[in-house]
Chains A and B, each alone.
Chain A
């Protein structure tokens, strides 16, 4: 088998596996909201639901397709998912894709810098602590990391807001912008508004990944091949960068990819503290109001993001670890 054929087979296998995963997840996404107790129509109608007759309720259910057999709803949902069309939100009266595009955009604006900064910080600090295992620096950084990781994010965010926004007045108390600014001033305004939320998310990201990087390095430093490298007379810097860090990278990439998926939906607390309109609050509101179309749409997008991040991680493994890269080329590893 040629190298090109091996790569094609490898990618075909991956695509098939991700495709099956996607269908399974989409099916679960369809089933879970409907398995929850509570009627979205009752939530939609609020206080007036009790006085509405069944005919009107029936008409409303028909309007949102909720009166149709479950298999019909499923087929329509899968076809809609293929076109990224999930109809209208029951609760917000808006087109689900428009709603998600709006929210997803701001979530990504928040998440990308947070993950990049947090990951980089974790890699640098984790390396410092790992290579100086047992030192004062290691104890200080590890202690700080555990403290940060165990701190409730709402409490931490409120403390930061109280200090930097309320008392010092350096940053705004929330929202994505001051509103009604344009051009470069608008971009600066957004940067100013996002500084604290990004800093907090990056800190939490760094605290979590720091422990993984540090522990990986500590573990790898005790491996036999490191002992051999030292015996060969290689300098500490060469051992650290070429031998240790290279072995840390697959785990680092893996955890970054997983975190990306979680953070797209999991920045809820930060969104609430800073009044940001992101995917976290969208999903939370949709769960609370049983807004099936929004839930389904949001989960489909999140699924795509998680799978894409994992796929990217798979590819990056091959680049960072030649053994995996070789097996990709020969198609022996799927």
Chain B
């Protein structure tokens, strides 16, 4: 038996040693690379859990990476949140209805063909026919004209201040390629990768999910600072963080979000790793009230709930010191025209008083309050099962609400069922869900898209006072007026409480310190032009 055991151990060890000798060149080729210039970076390796399934333009994460590297839009979003030129050098509008864009003169597609205004018109007309999300983004776009090669005129049904924000996400496609493609979701050949951006996608390894980008020599703008970029897929964040600590990747990347603070202590032990923190322009967790549901339309009830929550405890548990508690006005402090409103406070007695005054009283002595009409009151609080922090957070909210006598029922739903309930059926009562930077810009901005029944409507607010403010904000250019209207919206949120921002976690973005010049962008994270053009060796 001893012999067999020894034999087994030796066999395994020998196999390990032999196989480890077969190692391929490290994924982190930056270590072994020869710098092309003094400060140039030959290859940057980015790890991600965002999986590209296929390289057709309808693939969500292919869209994410191609928009960052290979494809461009008329305008883009800068690190400070401003809309800045990209393929359009300038634009003008007098009424927010007719928008005229003037294109750059020397942009070419990766196959050498010049970009023209006709490509823009083609893109909008083409995607109108085959993008299922078209109507939600550009439903108000009446027509696109290309009077000459460098001018595009877009006409909307009604004034829309946020129109540029939508354009910033929309990739321009080459007409000479796509005019022959009937079904873009089945078109994934290298021709589908052709854009005007500073990088070209050179290969996609389907088995590993590895995307390999190389610099486009004929790029119309200045040359980026990195010659090659690999996007390496990991199925789980834990393994990706191990690869990051080991130096196999230069930075982890997750679209529209950062990383858990629980990775931070381990990462800080590594002197090659830096941590960048940014204020979150979205909100990590918001408690939404569906005002179309009986009893939840009570302002007093919503306010009572707001006083029942121990925000400080939740912030400490879920953000580990990397977070904040937003005001009752919902909007994060880093938002343009943020207005200071009543701070969210934990006051159990006040919560109970508000509930008593609104008629929510424990009439049968079971420890829980009945509804004002005497019926049993068990509001349902739902969240997504795949978001671990959310599941823990609703348990805590249940504890707080139980403490003031609200017999809340938890409903943990899978992603699809939850989305169905919130976005389409509107069957939710109370729900815990995040907002993204992009989501906060919907409608008139300031999270109004989530609140307004006419748009996203998680709160299903149909109040004419609110909707008038939203409509005015959408059609107003004057900065002072916009500031005033934005303030009115935040006051409305603070007073009516259609949603409560429970806590907000900062965006935590780790990076390798051997490169300097990492910039975080609220829309695209670290994969933005500031990083791509400015990153250099330390």
Report which A residues bind B (CB closer than 8 A).
37-40, 42-53, 56, 60, 88, 92-94, 102, 106, 124, 128, 132, 137, 158, 161-162, 164-166, 169-181, 185, 188-189, 191-192, 195, 271-277, 281, 288-290
Known interface pairs A192-B20, A272-B235; A45-B133 also in contact (CB < 8 Å): yes
- CB neighbors of A among B125-150 (8 A): 132-133, 135-137, 139
The answer, among A48, A60, A88, A290, for a CB contact under 8 Å with B416, is A290
A166 to B248, CA, bound (A): 10
Q: Is the CB of B135 within 8 A of A51?
A: yes
CA gap between A104 and B494 in the complex, in Å: 54
Take A92-B53, A173-B243 as given contacts and tell me if A137 and B1 are in contact as well, using a CB distance cutoff of 8 Å.
yes
Q: Which residue of B lies closest to A121 (CB)?
A: B8
Q: A52-B136, A192-B19, A288-B415 are in contact. Are A181 and B24 (CB under 8 A)?
A: yes
Contact A161 B242 (CB under 8 A): yes
Identify A180's interface contact among B53, B205, B206, CB under 8 A. Answer: B205
Nearest 9 CB-CB pairings of A with B: A51-B136, A38-B416, A178-B24, A170-B20, A179-B210, A275-B235, A93-B185, A48-B136, A50-B423
Q: List 11 A-B contacts (CB under 8 A).
A: A45-B132, A45-B133, A46-B60, A52-B132, A52-B135, A88-B186, A94-B53, A169-B20, A172-B23, A180-B205, A277-B208
Q: Which residues of A contact B242 (CB under 8 A)?
A: 161-162, 165-166, 173
CB pair B239 A275 closer than 8 Å? yes
Number of residue pairs spanning A and B whose beta carbons lie under 8 angstroms apart: 175
B419, A42: Cβ atoms closer than 8 Å: yes
**Measured between alpha carbons, how far is A281 from B185 in the docked complex, in Å?**
22
Verify A277–B207 contact, CB threshold 8 A. Answer: yes
Q: Which residues of B contact A195 (CB under 8 A)?
A: 15-16, 19
B36 to chain A, nearest CB (A): 19
User: Distance (Å) between the CB of A170 and the closest chain B CB?
Assistant: 4
B455 within 8 A of A: yes
Q: Is the CB of A40 within 8 A of B416?
A: yes
Partner of A191, one of B19, B209, B234: B19
Instruction: Report how far A192 CA is from B17 CA in the complex, Å.
Output: 11
For B450, the closest partner residue in chain A by CB is A50
What chain A residues lie within 8 Å of B232 (beta carbons)? 175
Tell me, in angstroms, the Cα distance from A94 to B205 when the chains sit together.
16
Closest to A94 in B: B54
Q: How far is the CB of B444 from chain A (nearest CB, A)?
A: 14
Q: B54: which of A37, A93, A181, A281 is its contact (CB, 8 Å)?
A: A93
- Interface of chain B residues 408 through 443 with chain A (CB within 8 A): 414-417, 419-420, 423-424, 436, 439
- Least Cβ distance of B182 to chain A in Å? 13
Q: B199-240 interface mask toward A, CB cutoff 8 Å, 1 = contact, 0 = none?
A: 000010111111010000000000000000000111110110
Q: Which residues of B contact A175 (CB under 8 A)?
A: 208-210, 232-234
Q: Is B111 an interface residue (CB 8 A)?
A: no
A31 to chain B, nearest CB (A): 18
Shortest CB–CB separation between residue B56 and chain A, in angstroms? Answer: 6
Is B457 engaged at the interface, CB distance under 8 Å to the other chain?
A: yes
B537 at the interface (CB under 8 A from A): no
Q: Indicate if the CB atoms of B209 and A277 lie closer than 8 Å.
A: yes
State whether A288 and B386 are in contact (beta carbons under 8 Å apart), knowing that A192-B22, A192-B23, A276-B235 are contacts in the complex. Answer: yes
Q: Smallest distance from the beta carbon of A231 to chain B beta carbons, Å?
A: 27
Count residues on chain B whose CB falls below 8 Å from chain A CBs.
60
Chain B residues 74-115 with CB under 8 Å of chain A are: none
> Which A residue sits closest to B233, measured CB to CB?
A275
> Is B388 close to A, CB under 8 A?
no
Q: Is B246 an interface residue (CB 8 A)?
A: yes
Q: Are B203 and A180 in contact (CB under 8 A)?
A: yes
* Interchain nearest-CB distance for A122 vs B (Å): 13
Give bound CA distance, A129 to B135, whole Å.
Answer: 68
The answer to whether A51 and B22 touch (CB under 8 A), given A45-B133, A92-B53, A289-B416, is no
CB-CB under 8 A from A289, the residues of chain B are 415-416
B53–A48 contact, CB under 8 A?
no
**B208: A residues at CB distance < 8 A:** 175-179, 275, 277
Q: Cβ of B456 and Cβ of A161 under 8 Å apart?
A: no
Whole-angstrom CA separation of A273 from B135 in the bound complex = 39
Q: In this assembly, does B538 line the interface, its C-beta being within 8 Å of a C-beta of chain A? A: no
Nearest Cβ on chain B to A1's Cβ, whole angstroms: 48
Residues of A within 8 A of B72 (CB): none
CA distance A52 to B209 in the complex (A): 31
The residue of chain B having its C-beta at the shortest distance from the C-beta of A185 within the complex is B24
- Residues of the B chain whose Cβ atoms lie less than 8 Å from the Cβ of A161: 239, 242
How far, in Å, is A21 (CB) from chain B's closest CB?
A: 30
Besides the contacts A48-B136, A272-B235, what 11 more A-B pairs have beta carbons closer than 8 Å? A38-B419, A42-B419, A50-B457, A169-B246, A173-B234, A174-B243, A177-B207, A180-B210, A189-B22, A192-B20, A273-B238
Expressed in whole angstroms, the minimum distance between the Cβ of B197 and any Cβ of chain A is 22
B489: min CB distance to chain A, Å: 20
Residues from chain A with Cβ under 8 Å of B436 in the complex: 47
B4 at the interface (CB under 8 A from A): yes
Closest-CB distance, B391 to chain A (whole angstroms):
15
B27: Cβ under 8 A from any A Cβ: yes
B245 contacts the other chain (Cβ, under 8 Å)? yes
Chain B residues near A274: list those with CB within 8 A: 235, 239
Whether B272 is near chain A, meaning CB under 8 Å from some CB there, is no
Q: Mark B237-259, 1 if CB is under 8 A from A, else 0.
A: 01100110110100000000000
Shortest B134–chain A CB gap in Å is 8
Cβ-neighbour of B27 out of A60, A178, A185 (below 8 A): A178
Give the Cβ gap from A316 to chain B, nearest Cβ, in Å.
Answer: 26
Q: Evaluate whether A50 and B456 lie within 8 angstroms (CB atoms) in the complex, with A102-B206, A179-B205 already known.
A: yes
A44 to B132, CA, bound (A): 9
With known contacts A93-B186, A173-B243, A191-B19, A47–B439 Cβ distance under 8 A? yes
By a CB distance below 8 angstroms, the chain B residues around A44 are 132
Closest to A175 in B: B208
**Chain B residues whose CB sits within 8 angstroms of the CB of A124 once the complex forms:** 4
A281 and B4: CB pair below 8 A? no
The CA of A288 and the CA of B414, in the complex, are separated in Å by: 7
Partner of A43, one of B27, B56, B416: B416
Q: Are B414 and A38 in contact (CB under 8 A)?
A: yes
The residues of A that contact B365 with a CB separation of less than 8 Å are: none
> Is B37 interfacial (CB 8 A cutoff)?
no
Known: A39-B420, A166-B245. A180 touches B212 (CB 8 A): yes
| Cα–Cα, bound, A92→B210 (Å) | 17
| Contact partners of A170 in chain B: CB under 8 A | 16-17, 19-20
Query: Which A residues are in CB contact (< 8 Å) with B414?
Result: 38, 288
